[in-house]
Structure 1
């Protein structure tokens, strides 16, 4: 991995103290430190570019692979379709049974009174 070549951490950069000379910081020391930072940034940029290209490649692969999967996901729906008429038939039978039961109760209510009146 390219990240193994990183020489500095955020903490290293933050805590770096440059020695001061007569005219301020030692310019050679600052230049060396900045060179390390530049190398690290170049390494980071290469790694970022590599990861972007890998990400794009994987996205394309995923989109190409998802097309055949969409066909396979349609197959279970088609297999489940024959079960739907069976459920509808069962529901229709239940509705018919409920209607017959209500009709029977109404007949008992209407004709039951007539039979009771005739017996009196």
Structure 2
């Protein structure tokens, strides 16, 4: 039996994080969410603990941008979906998958399906 794919979710807005988590859970994915004020810092620590198959990163976090985390994930070959309400920041962020807030959960799940390694 294979274990479910693991998604690291870095989103400080609890309502958005819960919506995403619910959709990922319904798709049979294991989710580690890093909520709260120290979001990027917590996620950096989490990235070193568990095998992660995909990360969903909000680009505007209370403790600063997740750029170091994104670099670490990229170096490890882990795909990243960047989400943001700032279209300029989103366009400039160096990842293959981007989604502007507000978004439809179906659009996010389509990106998750595309981004998860085969």
Which TM-score band applies after superposition, normalised by the shorter structure? under 0.3
Q: Which has the higher strand share?
A: 2
TM-score, L = length of structure 1: 0.18
**In proportion to residue count, which structure has more helix?**
1
The higher radius of gyration belongs to: 1
